[in-house]
Amino acid sequence: MLFTDVIRTKRDGGALSDEQIQFFVDGLADESIPAEQVSALAMAVVLNSMTFDEAAKLTLAMASSGTVLRWQDLQLKGPVVDKHSTGGVGDKVSFMLAPIAAACGCHVPMISGRGLGHTGGTTDKAEAIPGYNTAPDFPTFRQVVKDVGCAIIGQTADLAPADRRLYAIRDVTATVESVPLITASILSKKIAAGLEALVMDVKVGTGAFMKTPERARKLAESIIATAAMAELKTHVLITDMNEVLGRTAGNALEIAEAVRYLQNDEREARLDTVVIGLCAEMLIAAGLETDRATAEQRCHDAVTSGRAAEIFGRMVAALGGPTDFMESSSKYLAVAPVVRPVHAAGYLRSIDTRGVGNAIIELGGGRHRVGEALDLSVGFSDFASIGTMLDAETPLAIVHAASEGDAVQAEKLLLDACEVGEDVPAVTPVIAEIIPGTA
Ligand code: URA
């Protein structure tokens, strides 16, 4: 089979056959199809989409392009359940949610991604913790999930390798925004992880890949239907991404915020609602709770009791990070040499959150090219939420940069991305919709 014929079929709006999809997935995994042809097909899918059957076939083929994990032999005491986000800016939810869910009796084998387009990646953020191994061997991964209750790692070479390569190419070729490609990318990893249940955080808004509620709902429906076909019980929350989630955006800065949250020192309201809302849904999807209010209370208690913080510290140590990370995180996280506030005057009315993500890429915190090394120290902290009155005392954000020149450029990009005015803006709820799955 010639791969140019596969590209041509999709370019001209046709449906790919099962054989063509399998050929594509095999060529991704063994690298026999070069990056330029992969990106041409990805762009054709972005432009002409895929039928449900094509997307389902792509999902299953990518899921079985490497090892498929099984957990039964470990005789775990709780359900194997996970959460995945479609990607946002400042989305550090996984670092809080995984240990909270573990403290509530779940086992969470979380296989996360690197930065994608303008969005940050959980794997990159985890690597801000010195020594933390995001690519352990499977026996280590399984043991940490068993003993600690959760393990957040990156995609290893063995797990859904076809998605691993496609993901890295989509990151730098403007080919992320596609319902079938996002569905296949996320679910291939989750099916390969051998989960009993999954909760999806489908982001909507200026910092999401789905900009409108209609598009977000379409993606949610695609994920639920494809997961049901693979017998993976999946619930979805559609959550707001019209502003940075929490107070920080940038790899090490987000880890620091996650630590403060777990230590119950600073729980920014919108971030807290998303973390607790998703985690409560995990307990419901996993069959541990039936009532939402009870599930939410159980998640809150896991934070205030310190159990989630203790589990996070144990996970970090078990994956090679410092044994005293929770007590001494500031000693370990990289600090940018230039730190200064960005001021504006008036109400913060709206944010082009993609612009904020792009500013972080320009600071060196995200990639322009496949495999590029990141500066994990850079980004924004103290980010104001929509509706805040900005003045000389209250900055829009604090920029963390590698140089004065980078700080000036980031300040300009940030101000361009934010609308500030005299009228108080309407504030949208952070959880737009909860969709219980069908499987
Ligand atoms: N997360 C993924 O793993 N893949 C996507 O395509 C988008 C978000």
pLDDT (tens digit per residue) in 242-258? 999 999 999 999 999 99
Q: Which of 45, 125, 186 to mutate to test the pocket of ligand 1 (most atoms within 8 A of CB)?
A: 186
Q: How far is the CA of 371 from the centre of ligand 1 (A)?
A: 17
* pLDDT for res 278: 98
Q: How far is the CA of 67 from the centre of ligand 1 (A)?
A: 19
Q: Is residue 355 part of a domain?
A: yes
185 with 277, same domain: the answer is yes
146 with 285, same domain: the answer is yes
Q: Decide whether any atom of ligand 1 lies within 6 Å of the 183 Cβ.
A: no
Q: Cα–Cα distances in Å, from 264 out to 152, 232, 243, 280, 356?
A: 21, 33, 23, 18, 27
Q: Decide whether any atom of ligand 1 lies within 6 Å of the 116 Cβ.
A: yes
42 with 161, same domain: the answer is no
pLDDT bracket for residue 408 (50, 70, 90): very high
Reported as a single tens digit per residue, the pLDDT across 89-118 is 999 999 999 999 999 999 999 999 998 889
Q: Which of 28, 62, 83, 86 to mutate to test the pocket of ligand 1 (most atoms within 8 A of CB)?
A: 86
Q: Is residue 216 part of a domain?
A: yes
CATH number at residue 254: 3.40.1030.10
| Torsion angle (degrees, nearest 10) of CA 336, 342, 348, 350 | -60
164 with 275, same domain: the answer is yes
CATH number at residue 16: 1.20.970.10
Atom of ligand 1 nearest to the CA of 185: 4
CA distance 326 to 312: 8
Of 333, 167, 370, 351, give the one whose Cα is nearest residue 270. Answer: 351
Q: Is residue 284 part of a domain?
A: yes
Q: Is residue 58 part of a domain?
A: no
Q: Is residue 54 part of a domain?
A: no
**Mean pLDDT for the chain overall:** 96
Known catalytic residues? 82-85, 122, 170, 185, 189-190
325 with 363, same domain: the answer is no
410 with 387, same domain: the answer is yes
CATH number at residue 350: 3.90.1170.30
93 with 233, same domain: the answer is yes
164 with 128, same domain: the answer is yes
Q: Decide whether any atom of ligand 1 lies within 6 Å of the 210 Cβ.
A: no
* pLDDT for res 370: 84
For ligand 1, atom 6, which residue shows the shortest CA distance?
182
pLDDT bracket for residue 328 (50, 70, 90): very high
Reported as a single tens digit per residue, the pLDDT across 30-46 is 999 999 999 999 999 99
Strand order in the sheet with 233-240: 81-85, 197-204, 233-240, 431-435
Q: How many domains does the chain have?
A: 3
249 with 130, same domain: the answer is yes
345 with 301, same domain: the answer is no
Q: Decide whether any atom of ligand 1 lies within 6 Å of the 186 Cβ.
A: yes
CA distance 150 to 311: 8
* pLDDT for res 438: 62
321 with 355, same domain: the answer is no
Q: Decide whether any atom of ligand 1 lies within 6 Å of the 87 Cβ.
A: yes
Atom of ligand 1 nearest to the CA of 87: 8
Reported as a single tens digit per residue, the pLDDT across 257-283 is 999 999 999 999 999 999 999 999 999
The mean pLDDT of 362-386, rounded to a whole number, is 95
* pLDDT for res 187: 96
pLDDT bracket for residue 414 (50, 70, 90): very high
* pLDDT for res 283: 98
Q: Is residue 63 part of a domain?
A: no
Domain range for 390: 334-421
193 with 276, same domain: the answer is yes
Reported as a single tens digit per residue, the pLDDT across 111-125 is 999 988 899 899 999
pLDDT > 90? residue 436 = no
pLDDT bracket for residue 371 (50, 70, 90): confident
pLDDT bracket for residue 157 (50, 70, 90): confident
Q: Is residue 67 part of a domain?
A: no
Q: Is residue 396 part of a domain?
A: yes
pLDDT > 80? residue 387 = yes
